[in-house]
Amino acid sequence: MNIEFQINALRDELREHNYNYYVLDSPTISDFEFDMKLKELQKLEGEHPEFYDANSPTLRVGGMITKNFETIVHEHRMYSLANSYSKEDLEDWEKRIQRNLGDVPVEYTCELKYDGASISITYEHGELVRAVTRGDGFQGDDVTTNIKTIKSVPLRLKGDYPEKFDIRGEIVLPFDGFAQMNEERVANGEEPYMNPRNTASGSLKLQDSSLVAQRPLECLLYSIVGKNTNISTQFEMLEKARAWGFKVPTVAKLCKTTDEVLEFVEHWDTNRHDLPYETDGVVIKVNNLQHQDELGHTAKSPRWALAYKFKAEQVFTVLNEITYQVGRTGAITPVANLEPVLLAGTTVKRASLHNADQIAKLDIREKDTVFVEKGGEIIPKIIAVDRSKRSLDSEPVQYITECPECHTRLERTDGDAKHYCPNEYGCPPQITGRIQHYISRKAMDIEGLGGETVELLFKEGLINDYADLYDLTKEEILPLERMAEKSAENLINGVAASTQVPFERVLFALGIRYVGETVAKKLARAYKNIEALKIATLEELTAVDEIGERIAQSVVAFFANEKNRNAIERLMLKGVQFELSADKLKNQTDVLTGNTFVVSGVFETVSRDELKKMIEDNGGKVGSSISSKTGYLVAGDKMGPSKRTKAEKLGIPIISEQDFLGML
């Protein structure tokens, strides 16, 4: 028989068995037979490297090593989901949708919210070409080699799939697989993993893909994005993806009313413990994709979807001791150190107590038996104390008056619930915290340097602020604990590469209090470079759209401080970006400043998202629904009728795509 033919036939056969076993859960041959066939294929491929196929089933066993995960910009952004916790939240959401779409019937697809690591996988001509983590939503890490080892991820598709698309899903670790991994770890004298979610997401970043192959990970898919996919509803999307060979959970349900949605939520709130994976809620999505498009997104999440979080789980345990943490801004957070207890699938050892008021309000004391709750957030909280179990010699907590790290007297300003250590530039966790923030993913994203190394470098007296990072030499860091030639090089290269990070992220990285990612972008846009921002007055700053008094004061105070100005000066000499790149400036003007636009319908020459970007790039604002503040309604094809009526009633000019482009 022709060898190439034989190899391909074996590949097809193994693919089918993989699908039967991992996607359909119904194998048709024994594991032994499967292994024999796989070995045979491996042997043939080894003898005939000329028939190599990057998507052969033999690659499932892994073996490829990824040293650095390449950063990939998502072609379609990966959004978060807005959260809701009650029937009222759900009803408010529905009202907003109806207001936006007008009085058209709206259906909802309900799915479970799987708690793992999100992933976006690109397929071209039915072949898996790339898998990327969510990262910050704009860009993530290329983890293709690792994802290919997950058996329920098809490497080649079946049926009538679009030429090119991305599919979105969640990588999860089922409970029993997780338990088994932990048993093995404990048997080997290793610490067990904390919870399935973190273990799943940690797995994606393992360098050795054969280790990933050994973990019983699964990939559950829920969304397809791309052009010309020929899909018109969310529910149809799930069915099609399933037909192409993806593992798409079958619990999804199409609901006609919010009552039906609530029924679904209640059902799974009680029955979720029978599922093989961790879930933390239900995701409700407007079913019609044209409606989805019409509703669009906020800065963070789609308006057409909502995560309805399940009720938090609760448990009793003993509070052993209260300790205090100092954050990068000097804020003090009291932490409850608990007798370890199992809660919602994870072992809980610590809980945040927030601030002194919280401790006083609940009258929490050391050695108390406390009621701990874990909701959507990672850190659990204490919600009550069982006084009946309190011993007679128990004493109220004396809140600390001095910083536990540098012994400076703590301050508390009116209106702020937290105590602060004012020793901004002398208090170790504030110094390292600022540097850790600077290097973090969403800020300078310095590869080869992690939080622990920052602490080590600081302890060794090698760095005292973020500008010092750029003066580090290989000779200086090589003698450090656990620092090898290669890691030292990576660190130095990572720092050097950060000089290419764009200005708006540098601005965020500086760690100005209240200047988060979005505010940093606004300020960068408004001032274009640091020199202009440095001399901005309180009045000028508050005149910038969405910059309030509190942020403005913080910015002015930051630049008034000589230490900060020095650090910036030094960063500048090292080549860090302190102005918007020419590229960004090119398409930006102020011609639309002061105008709010609502965009509706489908457009001819640009996509809706491009149009919105053009509005923002030219100083305008994008509104979501029509109000008296709307300047123009940009109307495309198939625009919602209620928007038109409303705009006409309020006398708001309705303009076409061409009119709009003409304004620029």
Can you give the binding site for ligand AMP, defined by CB under 6 A? Answer: 80-81, 111, 113-114, 118, 134, 170, 222, 283, 307
Residue 335 contacts residue 323 (beta carbons within 8 Å): yes
Binder of residue 170, out of ligand AMP, Zn ion, none (CB less than 5 to 8 A by kind): ligand AMP
Whichever of 403 and 541 has its CB closer to Zn ion, that residue is: 403
- Distance CA(577)–CA(498), nearest Å, equals 9
- Contact with Zn ion (CB under 5 A) among 81, 221, 403, 520: 403
How many other CB atoms sit within 10 Å of the CB of residue 116? Answer: 25
**Amino acid in position 361:** K
Task: Tell whether residue 498 is a contact of Zn ion (CB under 5 A).
Answer: no
Binder of residue 423, out of Zn ion, ligand AMP, none (CB less than 5 to 8 A by kind): Zn ion
Shortest Å, Cβ 329 to Zn ion: 11
Whichever of 45 and 111 has its CB closer to ligand AMP, that residue is: 111
- Distance CA(216)–CA(174), nearest Å, equals 7
Binder of residue 410, out of Zn ion, ligand AMP, none (CB less than 5 to 8 A by kind): none
Task: Tell whether residue 463 is a contact of Zn ion (CB under 5 A).
Answer: no
Whichever of 113 and 522 has its CB closer to ligand AMP, that residue is: 113
Binder of residue 614, out of ligand AMP, Zn ion, none (CB less than 5 to 8 A by kind): none
Shortest Å, Cβ 357 to Zn ion: 21
Helix (H/G/I), strand (E/B), else coil: 353:
coil
Segments of 435-575 assigned E as strands: none
- The residues carrying an active-site annotation are 113
Shortest Å, Cβ 420 to Zn ion: 9
- Residues linked to residue 334 through DSSP beta bridges, in sequence order: 324
- The residue written with tokens 């300003």 in the block is 413
Whichever of 217 and 307 has its CB closer to ligand AMP, that residue is: 307
- The residue written with tokens 């999100």 in the block is 118
Helices and strands, number each (H, E), in the chain: 25, 20
Whichever of 201 and 423 has its CB closer to ligand AMP, that residue is: 201
Binder of residue 80, out of Zn ion, ligand AMP, none (CB less than 5 to 8 A by kind): ligand AMP
- Contact with Zn ion (CB under 5 A) among 167, 421, 449, 523: 421
Binding mask 346-385 for Zn ion (x = CB under 5 A): ----------------------------------------
Shortest Å, Cβ 147 to Zn ion: 44
Task: Tell whether residue 496 is a contact of Zn ion (CB under 5 A).
Answer: no
Token pair belonging to 254: 């199409």
Shortest Å, Cβ 296 to ligand AMP: 17
Whichever of 197 and 437 has its CB closer to ligand AMP, that residue is: 197
- Residues linked to residue 208 through DSSP beta bridges, in sequence order: 65
Token pair belonging to 659: 């009119």
Shortest Å, Cβ 555 to Zn ion: 24
Contacts of 87 (CB under 8 A, 6+ apart): 262
Whichever of 181 and 283 has its CB closer to ligand AMP, that residue is: 283
Name the strand (E) or helix (H) holding 599: strand 596-600
Q: Output phi, psi for 364, to 5 deg.
A: -85, 135
Helix (H/G/I), strand (E/B), else coil: 608:
helix
Task: Tell whether residue 332 is a contact of Zn ion (CB under 5 A).
Answer: no
Whichever of 136 and 366 has its CB closer to ligand AMP, that residue is: 136
3-state secondary structure 619-636: CCEEECCCCCCCCEEEEC
Token pair belonging to 481: 């604990």
Binder of residue 437, out of Zn ion, ligand AMP, none (CB less than 5 to 8 A by kind): none
Residues between 564 and 583 that touch Zn ion (CB under 5 A): none
Shortest Å, Cβ 99 to ligand AMP: 23
Helix (H/G/I), strand (E/B), else coil: 559:
helix
Task: Tell whether residue 405 is a contact of Zn ion (CB under 5 A).
Answer: yes
- Distance CA(664)–CA(662), nearest Å, equals 5
Count of residues of this chain found to bind Zn ion when the rule CB under 5 A is applied: 7
Binder of residue 427, out of Zn ion, ligand AMP, none (CB less than 5 to 8 A by kind): Zn ion
Shortest Å, Cβ 150 to ligand AMP: 15
- Region near Zn ion per CB under 5 A, out of 76-84, 98-106, 273-281, 398-406: 398-406
Buried b (16+ CB within 10 A) or exposed e, 282-308: bbbbbbbbebbbbbbbeeebbbbbbbb
Residue 618 contacts residue 664 (beta carbons within 8 Å): yes
How many other CB atoms sit within 10 Å of the CB of residue 166? Answer: 21
- Contact with Zn ion (CB under 5 A) among 84, 100, 109, 423: 423
Question: Measuring CA to CA, how many Å separate 183 from each of 116, 170, 180, 428?
Answer: 21, 24, 5, 39
Whichever of 69 and 222 has its CB closer to ligand AMP, that residue is: 222
Task: Tell whether residue 427 is a contact of Zn ion (CB under 5 A).
Answer: yes
Shortest Å, Cβ 442 to ligand AMP: 14
Residue 469 contacts residue 435 (beta carbons within 8 Å): yes
Binder of residue 622, out of ligand AMP, Zn ion, none (CB less than 5 to 8 A by kind): none
- Region near Zn ion per CB under 5 A, out of 224-232, 422-430, 522-530, 626-634: 422-430
Buried b (16+ CB within 10 A) or exposed e, 406-428: bebebeeeeeeebbbbebbeebe
Closest CA to 382 of 398, 410, 359: 359
Binding site for Zn ion (CB under 5 A): 403, 405-406, 408, 421, 423, 427
